[in-house]
Amino acid sequence: MALLPIIVAPDPRLKVVCEPVDDINDDIRKLVTDMLETMYDAPGLGLAAPQVGVKKRLLVVDVAKDDDAPDPHPMINPELTWASKELFEYEEGCLSLPKYYANVSRPDKVHVSYLDENGDSRELKAEGLLAVVVQHEMDHLEGILFVDHLSMLKRNVILRKLKKMKKQRQLETVGA
């Protein structure tokens, strides 16, 4: 198990459309384990492969509360098969956009089909927070960030601040 570096926006690697996983092998299972460890360490509720520099359709989510047992959902090649018309608004954040949050409306309930880390077909019926997190992470697989759901003004303000933060960190690293 290893902690993986999380890519921070703006970064072109976060804007790619990911490729399907063709073969669920030990490398993919190790990636799932490393992504879960990275997500829990961050801490976050979800993490998609492109956030750690892997252009594959793979994500992990776990919305269990701190006092509950972990309930991880690794999803390989997830596909949205149904979404409710009712929307749920939630203040979203993202490990790739640290310290920034904004309200995003998404379908309140979704059904997702996917493969687990053993290659078995699964379906998840999610609602509320779990539905939000799954949709947020699935967006990453299409190169979409939660700020892409905001007005252009709000999105640009957040991305400019992140760019400035990244530049400042680079200067501090060079100066160290």
117 has catalytic annotation: no
Q: Tokens for 117?
A: 């880390």
Three-state secondary structure string covering 136-162: HHHHHHCCCCHHHHCCHHHHHHHHHHH
**Catalytic member of 37, 79, 127, 137:** 137
Name the token pair of 54: 């892997």
State CA 158 to chain mean position distance. 18
Residue 119 has phi, psi (to 5 degrees) of 85, 10
Q: Which residues are catalytic?
A: 137
